[in-house]
Amino acid sequence: MSDEKVIPTPERVSPRRRGSYGVDAPYAVAFIGALVVAELVVAIIVGKVLPFLAVIFVTAIFGSFLYTTRRGKFVVWAELLDGLNLRGDERILDMGCGRGAVLLMAAQHLTTGRAVGVDLWRRVDQSGNSVDATRRNAVAEGVADRVELHTGDMTALPFENNSFDLIVSSLAIHNISGRAGREKAINEAVRVLRPGGRLMIADIRATRDHEAQLAKIGMNDVARRRLSWQFWWGGPWAPTRLVTAMKPERRNDPAFST
C-alpha cells in the first residue's frame, strides 16, 4: 500500500454562514427603508387605496434587496461554485471580495489551493467593510489557513501575469465609476488569469460592457445570463447577471497581451 497522503475532496459547501457579512450598499438600504416608512405615513394620512399599493410595491423592493444581500447571493454563489467541480488545488482570486461572502465559500472548496481576496474595503459599498472583518470571517468559516487578503485596486491588481486558475467577482466591478475604469478591471482580471483559466463576474450594472470587453480582448466562451430570483436587486426588473469567459490556451491570442 502507498504511504502517499490522500487529501479529501472538498464536500458540497453550504450557503449557511458562520461569519458576519453586513449588507451591500447600506445607504441605499437605509434610503429605501425610509421611503417605506414615509409612504406608509402618507397612505395612513390620505386613507386611499393607491398610496397603500405604493407601500406594498416599495416594501417588496426593500424585501428583495435585503433577502439578496443577506441570503440569496450566498445560495446562488454556493451553486455556482459547486458547479465548477474544483479539484481543491486551485488558486482563486475574488476581485472586490468585501467581507468574504464569495471568497470564503470558494476557500471551502480548496485543500492545498489558495483563495485570494483583493479589495479597497469601501464602507459605502458594504457595511462594516474592512480587512479585519474579512479576516475574522475567514477564522469563523474555518478557512483562514487557505485565505490571503490584499488591499488593492482591481484596476491595477498587485499580482503576476497568469497566476490564477479561477477569478470571481460579485457585485463589485459596477462600483468603479466610468466605463474606462471598469474595462481596466476586466483587462487586469484577464492578465492575471492563467491560460485555460475561468472568469465569473456577477454584477447588477454594465454587464453588457463586461461581456463586450471580454470578447474584444480575445477571451473564449464569453457568455452572459440572468441569475435566479434569489439574486434580484429589488424585483424582477433588477436582476443580477453572470458573465463568464475562459482564457485561451494559445500564446498568440489577444488576451495574452492585455
Residues touching ligand SAM: how many (CB under 6 A)?
Answer: 23
Q: How far apart are CA 173 and CA 205, in angstroms?
A: 9
- Choice between 39 and 125, CB closer to ligand SAM: 125
Interface residue with ligand SAM among 64, 108, 175, 207 (CB under 6 A) is: 175
User: Which residues face 148 on adjacent strands?
Assistant: 116
Whether 239 contacts 226, CB under 8 Å: yes
Measured CA to CA, the distance from residue 164 to residue 247 in angstroms comes to 11
Does 97 bind ligand SAM (CB under 6 A)? Our answer is: yes
DSSP 3-state of 132: helix
**CB-nearer residue toward ligand SAM: 55 or 172:** 172
Does the footprint of ligand SAM cover residue 101 (CB under 6 A)? yes
| Residue 192 touches ligand SAM, criterion: CB under 6 A | no
Number of H helices, E strands in the chain: 7, 7
Give the DSSP letter string of 12-62.
PPPS--SS----BSHHHHHHHHHHHHHHHHHHHHH--HHHHHHHHHHHHHH
| 125 touches ligand SAM (CB under 6 A) | yes
Q: Given the rule CB under 6 A, which of 30-38, 39-47, 49-57, 97-105 is the region that contacts ligand SAM?
A: 97-105
- Please report whether residue 80 would count as binding ligand SAM according to CB under 6 A: no
234 counts as binding ligand SAM under rule CB under 6 A: no
Residue ranges in contact with ligand SAM by CB under 6 A: 24, 73, 96-98, 101-102, 118-122, 125-126, 129, 153-155, 170-172, 175-176
